[in-house]
Structure 1
Amino acid sequence: MDFLALSIDLLFDSTSSEEEEEIQLRTRFQRQPRRFLNRDREAAGQLLWNDYFCENPMFPDDIFKRRFRMRKVLFLRIKDGILQHSYTPNAPDHFTFFQQRPDALGRLGFSTIQKITCALRQLSYGMTADIFDEYIKMAEKTGYVTLNNFCKCIIDLYGREYLRKPNATDIARLYSAHEEKHGFKGMLGSIDCMHWVWKNCPVACKGQYTRGDHGHPTIMLEAVASYDMWIWHAFFGMTGSNNDINVLNHSPLFDSLRKDRAAPSPFEVNGNQYPFGYYLADGIYPDWTTLIKGYTTPIEEPRNFFTRFQVSARKDVERTFGVL
């Protein structure tokens, strides 16, 4: 009888524990009521307007340029371009997102300036969207959606003008400008690589993305820049443990030239005709006809003179990396 009573007690105990677990699981996955925070986005939008965009703003243009990483004229140009395309027929959703429209309660949503400011601050400072909630009063999720739509708008607005290879007209302009500015005939631009710091690199990838002379994870960017800091070639994503030669071997810069699809861009120097232009590079790059380097140890005066001018002209890409 004692054994029977013990078995019955154990059975009831197990049944009650299963019921408790089921109740806990049901409570755990039960839909919680949505939390609402009255962020007062209207007051935040008015504060942003008074700080930077009204007729007599609190902060002058030099502080605007330092905090937004661009001039106010460029900011307003981007805003006007996005709004102009957002009101066109059959405009994509990422353009219409930046229109200020009322919500279900009739309250106006975030202004166009608030949305663009949130996106630009994330790009400028490399921080999460949640950190700007205190000033712009925009939730984290909305901030990320704004950033995604903003990047799509920029690509649609300016991609065809800037994110492309130069055509015949551009090549003629680059030849003329570089010859006038630097004295190099047939110069298309300067090529170099920079290491972009990856602050949030996972621990498992640090060894792959870290090089000894840097000491921290980086991602490499290869770029070709002209005298006016036009980056018409950008190859980004190689691990920081590589060097410039490894990046060049994977880069699509000379794919069209290798496949004999490059548009002819001839020029003449000292009576000699050359079919394609060239790029100025530093000493680590290979000895290719399309890459012009300075002399490593220029002893003779002509070589010393050429190396000085080559190093001076190659500052175009260094200056562009400094702006980035």
Structure 2
Amino acid sequence: MAKSTSIECLQRFTRGIVALYSAEYLRAPTLADLKRLLAKGERRGFPRMIESIDCMHWQWKNCPTAWAGEYSGRKKIPTIILEAVASYDTWIWHAFFGMPGACNDLNVLAKWATFVKTIPNPTRPKEITFAKAQEGYRKDVERCFGILQAHFGIVRGVARGWVKEDLRYIMLACVILHNMIVEDERPEDTDEDLESDEEEDNNMRPRIAEVWDGPTGQDFEEVGRDAHTFEGFMERLGMSF
């Protein structure tokens, strides 16, 4: 197949995937999804936390020379940023692609209103425990990027396209196909699976693609800002200081 024909087929394929499946596989969470995600976050020690957000840089080999300065970041090579929000089962709920690589994560993510950042250089036991738990939660989206690149070599290597719009469709098509794979491999949970998961669940190493419908036999109170309430909450999770 000629090179021009291959490029045209790729363009038509990616645009077709986005046009047909974006409404289903790039949708916002439904009420049932939010219930499941909030319950999972509560079990892992972060009430009201839904998902993790991060950025991935895709190197742009054929970036136009006039744009090279805008798209070159600290690595001195042109890149385009994918901003993604992923849940514990690596489903991507939000994908925004196209920010120039000269922007750092703070520039890209500054528009979001609510963040819980890690504690830099934690020293006290509470700070160390919190930092470890949160860093474990942040691995969801980083693991998602690794799976995305492992599944699709076109986003693992450098971007060879000339038009940014074509690269955008390639990335979104890969995200949609990734979510299809996650949906296909997600097991149907039974009551026995949920009970087993409740006993074996680990905050630092969450199990993949297991749905939990809510707490059984234990009610969690909201975490307040005062030290007494926070200590009681951490004790219920089995974390000692």
TM bucket (normalised to shorter chain) is 0.5 to 0.7
Q: Higher relative contact order at CA 8 Å, sep ≥6: structure 1 or structure 2?
A: 2
The CA deviation at 1:158 is 2.5
2:82 corresponds in structure 1 to 221
The answer to whether 1:193 aligns with 2:17 is no
2:124 corresponds in structure 1 to 300
The CA deviation at 1:205 is 1.7
The CA deviation at 1:185 is 1.8
Tell me which stretches of 4 or more aligned residues in structure 1 moved more than 6 Å: none
Gaps of 5+ in 1: 1-137, 255-287
Cα deviation digits, residues 253-305 of structure 1 (max 9, x gap): x5xxxxxxxxxxxxxxxxxxxxxxxxxxxxxxxxx6x2111211211111110
Q: How many residues get paired?
A: 148
1:319 corresponds in structure 2 to 143
What's the secondary structure of 1:291's corresponding residue?
Answer: coil
What's the secondary structure of 2:51's corresponding residue?
Answer: strand
What TM-score comes out, normalization by structure 2 length?
Answer: 0.56
Identity of aligned residues (%): 50
RMSD (Å) for aligned C-alpha atoms: 1.8
The answer to whether 1:165 aligns with 2:55 is no
1:246 corresponds in structure 2 to 107
2:3 corresponds in structure 1 to 140
1:36 corresponds in structure 2 to none
Distance 1:217 1:152, change over 3 A: closer
What's the secondary structure of 1:294's corresponding residue?
Answer: coil
1:205 corresponds in structure 2 to 67
Cα deviation digits, residues 227-267 of structure 1 (max 9, x gap): 11111111211111111121124x5xx5xxxxxxxxxxxxx
Report 1:257-272 matches (<5 A): none
The CA deviation at 1:322 is 1.6
Distance in 2 between residues matched to 1:232 and 1:166, nearest whole Å: 7
What's the secondary structure of 1:188's corresponding residue?
Answer: coil
Distance in 2 between residues matched to 1:238 and 1:156, nearest whole Å: 22
Distance 1:320 1:146, change over 3 A: same
Distance in 2 between residues matched to 1:220 and 1:142, nearest whole Å: 28
What's the secondary structure of 1:184's corresponding residue?
Answer: coil
The CA deviation at 1:321 is 1.5
Distance in 2 between residues matched to 1:157 and 1:197, nearest whole Å: 27
Distance in 1 between residues matched to 2:59 and 2:108, nearest whole Å: 17
1:18 corresponds in structure 2 to none
1:162 counterpart letter in structure 2: Y
| Contact kept in structure 2, 1:192 and 1:222, CA below 8 Å | yes
1:192 counterpart letter in structure 2: D
| Greater Rg over alpha carbons, structure | 1
Gaps of 5+ in 2: 150-241
